Amino acid sequence: MEALQRNNEELGRKLMEAERMLQNKLMEHETELEETHLRLEELRSELSLSNREEKELRAKDVCV
């Protein structure tokens, strides 16, 4: 009986460690996802500005 109790305690510790590691990985992935979303928004803004500049340049070429 004592061996089973020790085994259960060890499994409990391993479970807690696995849950802690899982939570850490989850937080890392959430941070990475947030950074990726921010970068995506930056790139969309850059693209929008670039498209606007291209249209302005084309409009100037037409006028000249």
* Cα–Cα dist 52/15, whole Å: 55
Per-residue model confidence (pLDDT) at position 64: 63
Per-residue model confidence (pLDDT) at position 40: 98
Convert the pLDDT of each residue in 3-23 to its tens digit.
Answer: 999 999 999 999 999 999 999
* Cα–Cα dist 31/28, whole Å: 5
Query: Is the pLDDT score of 62 beyond 90?
Result: no
Buried b / exposed e over 11-46, threshold 16 CB at 10 Å, is eeeeeeeeeeeeeeeeeeeeeeeeeeeeeeeeeeee
Convert the pLDDT of each residue in 31-56 to its tens digit.
Answer: 999 999 999 999 999 999 999 999 99
Give the helix ranges, DSSP H, for 1-64: 2-63
